[in-house]
DNA sequence: TCTGGTGCTTGATAAAAGTCAATTGAAAAG
DNA sequence: CTTTTCAATTGACTTTTATCAAGCACCAGA
């Protein structure tokens, strides 16, 4: 493993507080793997053998049932994933695939559970990570239950613009079909929703979105910090 | 606080492994409170002052935005709630109200975070609790995204019958309107869905549900362990 | 330059879910 | 025993979302 990769992992809140010796145990047991675009890393229903840490690229999490499929989230580096399944040693509830060429550090689940029992700082970090993720999904569920797909899109645009520095314009970081699935809608409906937003000054040119009338968009979206604010 | 109440709290997985002295610190700082039916305990957006432990009764968790409201879950005793907000010292994402007359043990959030830092067994228990809850909501989100309301109802009936010992008949433990909101639908649609299920042998008489043809119901519901099995 | 592929868009239609209003029915209150 | 109340149901209608099919635009490779 390259030194810079180790440093990226060490810098994660999940690992930064733990004892040096324990971290080195984990890293020694782990290894790095590179994956091309659109490769399946994990399939829902399987047992986890490794805690995954995304160092480079991005990962899409999805789930499937009765022939239907939905995207639950995307992960950008750096970040650990499938922590809950590893901790509980239970089946994955989601599938994961690369959304671009990615580099992932794999740490044996057994080692994680082991160190978790011995390093209080690591245990605290795991708790914080889980608590944050938990709250993230509560927000997703509220988003899904309390809003129409048009409203979810409007709020996503506002939130993403915020994330990009409130420039009023940004490039969609994923395919539109992937965005549709992330927002819990079909690609056809995403197109129609963009067309509707054009009326209130949202300009869409290919993957570029421009907000011409933020007030109007916010009026439609009615953003709610308890759903949309990633810091809360 | 009555001795039996303390014992109920102590017996919770969340508290059973921790050091006696630490548990007594928590209990000494806490106190019991009784609430009548339909009383608001917490309102989303507020800061948590106490970890709540439900000893008796039941609690409904809901959320509201742009005038719409949805029920996210019910809690039966014994069980702790708002753990994530307490641990992170952040705002509630859900509101809680009693779904029947209830008894709740309140433990100051500060004390919980304090003991959490000093008792590794407690920290482990918190992690396990959070991980289980996290997975619970992932399943809720999948349920919402991948199924129609009729399918959610069919699966709820199967799961609840299972929980009641697979007797083929049970009484709905909450008002139908509450069940509708829990399943992410309107009461009117719940009625219509029950009427549809009558065609495949689901008999509904007031609050009593009888499954006359489990195979047919399962054929419609297509239960999926990665959504419906509470043990996974 | 042409060609095939792929992702996106558009249109027509159907299914799912929500809304509004009226009615039923059963339990609680007088 | 009657009246009141309120959850539950039913009907008519609208909105939202999905589905199916066709068309368009853009890029990669021949």
The tens digit of pLDDT for each residue in A118-165 reads 898 898 899 999 999 999 999 999 999 999 999 999 999 999 999 999
- The tens digit of pLDDT for each residue in A27-37 reads 999 989 999 98
Q: In the prediction, which pLDDT does B178 show?
A: 96
- Is residue A129 domain-shared with residue A18, that is, in the same domain? yes
Q: At A225, is the pLDDT very low, low, confident or very high (cuts 50, 70, 90)?
A: very high
Q: At B2, is the pLDDT very low, low, confident or very high (cuts 50, 70, 90)?
A: confident
Nucleotide nearest A148, CA–C1', reads: D16
- CB-based contacts of A24: which residues, under 8 Å, 6+ apart? none
Beta bridge partners of A71: A62
- Is residue A123 domain-shared with residue A218, that is, in the same domain? no
**What value, to the nearest 5°, has the Cα angle with vertex A22 and ends A20 and A28?**
100
* Mean pLDDT for all residues in chain A: 94
- Is residue A65 domain-shared with residue A157, that is, in the same domain? no
- Asked if the model's pLDDT at residue A3 lies above 90, the reply is no
Structural domain count, chain A: 2
Task: Count helices and strands (H / E) in chain A.
Answer: 11, 11
Assign residue A79 the CATH number of its domain.
2.60.120.10
- Asked if the model's pLDDT at residue B4 lies above 90, the reply is no
Q: In terms of CA atoms, which chain A residue is nearest residue B118?
A: A120
Element containing residue A208 per DSSP (H, E): strand A208-211
Q: In the prediction, which pLDDT does B3 show?
A: 86
- Is residue A12 domain-shared with residue A77, that is, in the same domain? yes
Judged by CB atoms closer than 8 Å, whether chains meet at B91 and A226 is answered as: yes
Which token pair is B8? 């109920």
Which token pair is A89? 């040693």
d(CA B193, CA B214): 17
Residue among B105, B184, B104, B101 at smallest CA distance from B145: B184
Distance in angstroms, CA of B37 to C1' of C29? 20
Judged by CB atoms closer than 8 Å, whether chains meet at A141 and B144 is answered as: yes
- Is residue B37 domain-shared with residue B131, that is, in the same domain? yes
- The tens digit of pLDDT for each residue in B106-137 reads 999 999 999 998 898 899 899 999 999 999 99
SS3 B208: strand
B-chain residues near A144 (CB < 8 A)? 141, 144-145
Residue ending a domain, among B109, B144, B179, is: B144
- Asked if the model's pLDDT at residue A117 lies above 90, the reply is no
- Is residue B63 domain-shared with residue B45, that is, in the same domain? yes
A-chain residues near B45 (CB < 8 A)? 226
For every residue of B35-72, DSSP letters joined together read E-TT-EEE-TTSPP-EEEEEEES-EEEEEEETTEEEEE
- Is residue A9 domain-shared with residue A21, that is, in the same domain? yes
Residue ending a domain, among B114, B144, B174, is: B144
How confident is the model over B88-103, as a mean pLDDT? 94
Residue ending a domain, among A144, A164, A184, is: A144
Which token pair is A186? 């079909």
ipTM above 0.85, yes or no: yes
Assign residue A211 the CATH number of its domain.
1.10.10.10
Residue among B42, B17, B227 at smallest CA distance from B115: B17
Distance in angstroms, CA of B53 to C1' of D27? 60
Rounded to a whole number of angstroms, the distance from the CA of A223 to the nearest CA of chain B is 9
d(CA A19, CA A161): 38
How confident is the model over A68-84, as a mean pLDDT? 94
| Alpha helices, H only, A32-119 | 83-88, 109-118
- Is residue B188 domain-shared with residue B129, that is, in the same domain? no
- Is residue A36 domain-shared with residue A51, that is, in the same domain? yes
Q: The domain containing residue A86 runs over which residues?
A: 3-144
- Is residue B55 domain-shared with residue B133, that is, in the same domain? yes
DSSP A173: S
Q: In the prediction, which pLDDT does B148 show?
A: 97
- Is residue B87 domain-shared with residue B182, that is, in the same domain? no
Q: In the prediction, which pLDDT does A4 show?
A: 86
Q: In the prediction, which pLDDT does A1 show?
A: 78
- Asked if the model's pLDDT at residue A44 lies above 90, the reply is yes
- CB-based contacts of A7: which residues, under 8 Å, 6+ apart? none
- Is residue A136 domain-shared with residue A155, that is, in the same domain? no
Rounded to a whole number of angstroms, the distance from the CA of A3 to the nearest CA of chain B is 30
Query: Touching check for A70 and chain B: CB below 8 Å?
Result: yes
């Amino acid at each position: 493993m390259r030194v810079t990769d180790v440093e990226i992992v060490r810098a994660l809140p999940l690992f930064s507080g733990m004892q040096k010796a324990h971290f080195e145990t984990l890293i020694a047991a782990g290894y790095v793997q590179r994956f091309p675009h659109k490769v399946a890393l994990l399939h829902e229903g399987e047992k986890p053998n490794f805690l995954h840490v995304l160092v480079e690229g991005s990962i899409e999490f999805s789930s499937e049932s009765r022939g239907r499929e939905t995207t639950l989230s995307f992960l950008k580096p750096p970040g650990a994933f499938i922590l809950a399944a590893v901790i509980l040693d239970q089946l994955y509830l989601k599938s994961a695939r690369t959304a671009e060429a990615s580099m992932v550090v794999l740490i044996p689940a057994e080692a994680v559970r082991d160190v978790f029992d011995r390093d209080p700082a690591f245990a605290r970090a795991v708790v914080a990570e889980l608590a944050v993720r938990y709250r993230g999904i509560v927000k997703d569920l509220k988003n899904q239950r309390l809003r129409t797909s048009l409203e979810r899109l409007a709020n996503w645009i506002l939130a993403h613009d915020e994330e990009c520095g409130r420039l009023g314009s940004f490039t969609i970081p994923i395919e539109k079909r992937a965005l549709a699935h992330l927002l819990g809608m079909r690609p056809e409906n995403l197109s129609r929703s963009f067309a509707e937003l054009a009326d209130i000054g949202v300009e869409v040119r290919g993957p570029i979105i421009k907000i011409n009338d933020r007030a109007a968009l916010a009026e439609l979206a009615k953003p709610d910090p308890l759903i949309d604010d990633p810091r809360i």
